[in-house]
Amino acid sequence: MRFIHTSDWHLGRRLQTIDLIGYQSTFLDWLLSTAKARAVDAVVVAGDIYDRSIPPTEAVDLLDRTVAAFAEARIPMVIIPGNHDHPVRLRYGGALFAQSGIHVRAEVAKVADPVVLADADGQVGFYGIPYLIPDAVMTELGAERSHESVLAAAANRIRLDAAARGLGRTVVAAHAFITGGEASDSERQIRVGGIGDAPAGVFDGFTYLALGHLHGPQVVASPHPETVLAYSGSPIAFSFSERDHQKSVLLVELDGAGSVTSERLPTPVPRPLRQVRGRLDELLATADRDNSGLANSWLKVILTDAVRPESPMEKLRQVWPHTIALEFEPDVDLTSSTGLIPVSPVTDPADITADFYAHVTGSVPDDPTRTLIGQVVEATAVEAVMR
Ligand SMILES: [Mn+2]
């Protein structure tokens, strides 16, 4: 059984000012021709199909054309929503799509409803676990309020179903942060209050976990030697933190005994991403010996000048026309003189709020206040995902 595992298309996303839809269309054309050339039995898409719950019309059109082309090529697809997708909008038309081999698994009720495909060695069950928000599904799954608990409950339903059907080989698509995975800057936080990640062990016993969510391709260590867990990563870089990723999809092969081999197929690169740092004059002085291809790259420049130079973007674009991001990090310490606390994009929002509380009241929040801040931040995060 041979299939392609991909995820995190984020159709409709922009990179700074760049509209990526044309590049995403190029990737999907490439995916179809690669799937045909490699004669795959299926394509598994592990969530974050769209970039947001109400996607732009160009993104809806692109997905529409894509599923129609795969259906016409008779290549089955298994698709799940990620934390950026709205499950109800994504599954629109799903009952009709299924008749053409396009299988959207976007509800808890269908977690244990496999797409069964056969090869010379017998049957393989393809299951899809949609991105599960604990607050929304814990009652239905009889689980506790954590990603680990709801995923474990979904996995148990699949184990029971696979056993009942006598399926020895199982592929499970899931969109989750598995403990030990390495994050980048373009994944929306699902961790609030430490409930976001789940240990690899909840998936023990399945043959292959086709994971989505993390944008860097990576294999996750499994406590169960016969279970392989892998993130395909996104096909395109969505942030400068991904500039060193080799973007790819995974070509996965299962033999009759359930042994897994896989190969990374590099995806088309719209334009390399680069980042440089220094004082404006010094950087511009290096531009005429552009031996690292900066002029052809999407470029992020971090300026360290103590005083902001005049019209830096215009000057940079004269030598590096694809400069699309500019940040200022003066090499003098501004925070010590103002009493501000530096934060990073991965700082827990509850910590930022608590710091702000301390800043305006002059005292750190007590335990009940801290608990309240945590509850408000989590409720807001859930609201943002459900919208
Ligand atoms: Mn994603």
Do residues 312 and 280 make contact, with C-beta atoms less than 8 angstroms apart?
A: yes
Ligand 1 centre to CA of 175 (Å) is: 9
d(CA 185, CA 361): 31
- Per-residue pLDDT, 71: 98
- pLDDT tens track for 225-270: 889 999 999 999 999 999 999 999 999 999 999 999 999 999 999 9
- Per-residue pLDDT, 337: 52
Do residues 185 and 16 make contact, with C-beta atoms less than 8 angstroms apart?
A: no
Low-confidence spans in the chain with pLDDT less than 50: 192-194
Ligand 1 centre to CA of 11 (Å) is: 10
d(CA 357, CA 381): 19
One CATH from 3.60.21.10, 1.20.1530.20, 1.10.10.2520, 3.40.50.720 for 2-266: 3.60.21.10
- pLDDT tens track for 199-230: 899 999 999 999 999 999 999 988 888 899 99
What is the torsional sign of CA 383, 153, 181, 67?
negative
Which residues does residue 18 pair with via DSSP β-bridges, in sequence order? Answer: 15
Ligand 1 centre to CA of 249 (Å) is: 14
Ligand 1 centre to CA of 335 (Å) is: 32
Ligand 1 centre to CA of 344 (Å) is: 19
- Per-residue pLDDT, 330: 86
Q: How many Cβ atoms are within 10 Å of 291's Cβ, its own excluded?
A: 6
pTM of the model: 0.86
Ligand 1 centre to CA of 234 (Å) is: 7
Ligand 1 centre to CA of 116 (Å) is: 27
d(CA 326, CA 305): 12
Mean of pLDDT over the chain:
90
Q: What is the DSSP letter of 173?
A: E
- Per-residue pLDDT, 37: 98
- pLDDT tens track for 335-361: 555 556 667 666 788 888 888 888 788
Ligand 1 centre to CA of 172 (Å) is: 18
- Per-residue pLDDT, 261: 96
Ligand 1 centre to CA of 7 (Å) is: 8
What are the tokens at 56? Answer: 């732009």
CATH 3.60.21.10-classified regions of the chain: 2-266
Ligand 1 centre to CA of 12 (Å) is: 12
Which residues does residue 197 pair with via DSSP β-bridges, in sequence order? Answer: 177
Ligand 1 centre to CA of 85 (Å) is: 9
- Per-residue pLDDT, 189: 65
- Per-residue pLDDT, 194: 46
Indicate the SS3 state at residue 15: strand
